[in-house]
Structure 1
């Protein structure tokens, strides 16, 4: 004979067992680990936080300036080194010094503002810089006094088409010139490199 719903036994209610000392210790350990992970993430985010610098600039060369105590390498571009020469109409000329002069002219004595978070192998901040509303990184490449170095490919194409700056003759790429003269090697630092650097900083243990 089948039971009706009213005749079915009611559900049993069980009281949860009190947590033992080992379970409590495990809970405390998990809480400590979680707090440690949160602190680690906060430290990593601090490493990739964008830094702002502004003020009167000292122009060191075609792609490096100093603002206060911060030495800044313009991100995504590469200008001829200060002592580098290029060739035009069969004659060498001081393209490195002209690149520096081009940056001085673009700044025009105005305050410079830079932002960035990456560092190059020399500890310089890789910055995107402006002066008087002019994007210095892009303007240098478009004027032909710096080449694309991970970014600003469209500006480089325009300069090459107009035979502006170093594109009016022949030149050795600055990174090749550095490698030949002091053995220095520098990776490009454009948009894709920024993503890679961000991931490395987030995953770096120390």
Structure 2
């Protein structure tokens, strides 16, 4: 996968225009993919003791020397708090860890991952240009297929993202990778008590090991998603059950694209959700199974979709004055 990431770096991730290319902390761009490839190769080295293919074309020292570098780099990455997130961070880790090694090897290793050379790092440190900040959504998720049980209600879904996805791989704490490796080894020798304890550590860190379609283990990150801009009836309200059932029917077994804007006060990721080309919030509003949540989202198309459902008297709009979920929650908090 490391070599595939480097190919991605050199090909599809080159900017095609003058527009900023960053997709936020999870974007596959020239700003993150080199870090992802390095992280992946270090984790693989810890398992196999093998350096990545093609590295010898960029450096002058032997495979034995290269293995020594990766051993040192893996240890340095483990000890880094936090681990490198940017190309500059990763380049500094390499140059500082291998500062006594040949200059040609250090520069070749940086070039192999598309990381800035030492002279470029000085320019970055002295630059006063602010980092690009997206005006709208911050980053994008591509999920694993959704389980029906992961749908909490008509506006909330729990999803999992494969950490092998280069949008995600650079952000996985190294201890979580280590838990997953140890869990796999424990299961191989049928030490299920240890495997279960390690799985608990993984879950507590916000991840999960999921059984994949080929009976392989997939380390995945958990995200609780709150659909931005809509508010569906609570489960105990009229049409609450129907809202959840319709959302389940739409997303069950499907992989979703989620554009994340931020987090709410319950630490859920707030985002726009797409399922096989269907904009899920639009689907729920047109079905009459959610309100436009104007207090948090003023998009005019949401107001239009709600208005159309009201006029057609579909879903909850069959009632002339359905109770609003935010008022229902307020009444319950106040003991009404």
Counterpart Cα distance in 2 of 1:64 and 1:35: 44
| More deviation, 49-58/161-170 | 49-58
By how many angstroms is 1:43 displaced? 9.0
Q: Which has the larger radius of gyration?
A: 1
Secondary structure (helix, strand or coil) at the match of 2:235 reads coil
- Which protein is richer in strand relative to its size? 1
Alignment of 1:1-206 (within 5 A): 38=129, 41-42=130-131, 49-57=138-146, 58-68=150-160, 69-83=222-236, 85-86=237-238, 95-149=239-293, 150=297, 151=299, 152-169=302-319, 170-182=321-333
4+ aligned runs moved over 4 Å, structure 1? 34-38
2: distance between equivalents of 1:62 and 1:99?
5
The higher-RCO structure (CA 8 Å, 6+ apart) is 1
Unaligned runs of 5+ in 2: 1-124, 161-221
Q: d(CA) in 2 for partners of 1:53 and 1:179?
A: 34
Measured in 2, the distance between the counterparts of 1:98 and 1:74 equals 17
SS at the partner of 1:117?
A: strand
Q: 1:36: Cα distance to partner? A: 8.9
Cα distance per residue 1:120-145 (max 9 Å; x no partner):
11111111111121111111001000
What is the TM-score with the length of structure 1 in the denominator?
0.60
Cα separation, 2, equivalents of 1:129 and 1:105: 15
The alpha-carbon distance between structure 1 residues 158 and 50, as it changes in their structure 2 partners (threshold 3 A), is same
Where structure 1 has 5 or more consecutive residues not aligned to the other structure, the ranges are 1-33, 87-94, 184-206
